[in-house]
Amino acid sequence: MPKQIKELRIDKITPNSIHHIIESKFTKKGKFKKDKITAEFYTRPRFAEALAFNLSPFCYFQELRSQKFSWRFSPAGLAYILLFGLVGKLAGLPLSSIGSITSYYAQSNTVGWIKESTTWSGSRNATNSDAVYTVYTDSYLFETSYWTTPNYQIVRGRNKFDTSAIGSGATITACTNYWFISVNYRAEACKIVLCSSPTGTATSDYSGFGTTDWGSRDIGTNFATGAYRSLDMNATGMENINKTGTTYIGYRSDLDINNTAPTTNRNMLWAKTADYTGTSEDPYLSVTYTVLSNQSNFFQVL
């Protein structure tokens, strides 16, 4: 500091100032005039500095131990962050994501429709079934059989699941069906096929099963009895999961779906139902989904 100023009282020091020049006024005899001091200081714009501290990691850590860093959380930086959040909210941009894998167990009263006829078309293309069963501890998932009478028998099964907890904003990325298999007869190449199903329980609902494949798998070694066995849903099946209500899933054999008459006795698959005592062997869906939302953080207050 120049000698001329040391004896003077300092009225103000501007933070972040850089000393540039001191202009002193002297008399003609060379004496210093105490009341004629002009000091010039140049500062970095506070807005620019704050913006750098808030937006640049390099500046942030470079100035971490600096006294000037006391101003790093500036109104300018906070305004930028809030503005970013507001723009994202108005644009509907997702600001957070939550992933979940949840099991949804089948509801009671598993339903199956049974139809027998002396001809294949009479069994497959019938409007009504012969009977509907609703409460069994073990139940058909499907059957497609040919008896020597001759007599063709078809069973189409259905489960329903309360999947309303998923929510309309979720994106389903995977879904697997699980059953505890109790009976498996496979006399010829045969698959279980997931499909759409009716929501009612009348005999006239027999013809309400869809033919679009939601996921299928050969029932041979893939469905051995005495344990849980699985079948993944394809993209079409996942699109038909009701994210705000009840999901109905039908079960048919590929022979039934493709209108191919069986030539042997018998092709069927049974599994434990939701009416079986306890829940250790109940059928269920394992659904993987992601929720994208801009409402699950503090920007919702905007």
Residue-wise pLDDT for 87-121, tens only, equals 555 555 554 556 788 999 998 877 899 999 999 99
As a whole number of angstroms, the distance between CA 104 and CA 142 comes to 21
| Confidence tier at 255 by pLDDT (50, 70, 90) | very high
As a whole number of angstroms, the distance between CA 64 and CA 62 comes to 6
The CB-side HSE value for 106 (13 A sphere, CA atoms) comes to 32
The letter for the amino acid at 247 is T
Does the structure show a pLDDT above 90 at 227?
yes
Does the structure show a pLDDT above 60 at 154?
yes
Query: pLDDT tens across 39-58, in order?
Result: 544 445 555 555 555 555 55
Q: Which of 59-68, 179-188, 222-231, 291-300 has the highest mean pLDDT?
A: 222-231
Buried b (16+ CB within 10 A) or exposed e, 2-12: eeeeeeeeeee
The pTM (predicted TM-score) of the whole model is 0.66
As a whole number of angstroms, the distance between CA 12 and CA 284 comes to 75
Among 25, 197, 207, 189, residue whose Cα is nearest residue 115: 207
- Window from 70-74, 103-107, 109-113, 122-126 with minimum mean pLDDT: 70-74
Q: How far lies 91's CA from each of 85, 86, 87, 214, 215, in Å?
A: 10, 8, 6, 35, 37
* Residue 8 pLDDT: 53
As a whole number of angstroms, the distance between CA 6 and CA 13 comes to 14
Instruction: Compare 290 and 18 and report the one with higher pLDDT.
Output: 290
| Confidence tier at 268 by pLDDT (50, 70, 90) | confident
Q: Which tokens sit at 43?
A: 């500062």
Averaged pLDDT, 200-210: 95
Averaged pLDDT, 150-171: 92
C-alpha of 155 from chain center: 34
Does the structure show a pLDDT above 70 at 26?
no
Query: pLDDT tens across 279-301, in order?
Result: 788 999 999 999 865 544 444 44
* Residue 166 pLDDT: 95
Instruction: Compare 29 and 131 and report the one with higher pLDDT.
Output: 131
The letter for the amino acid at 140 is Y
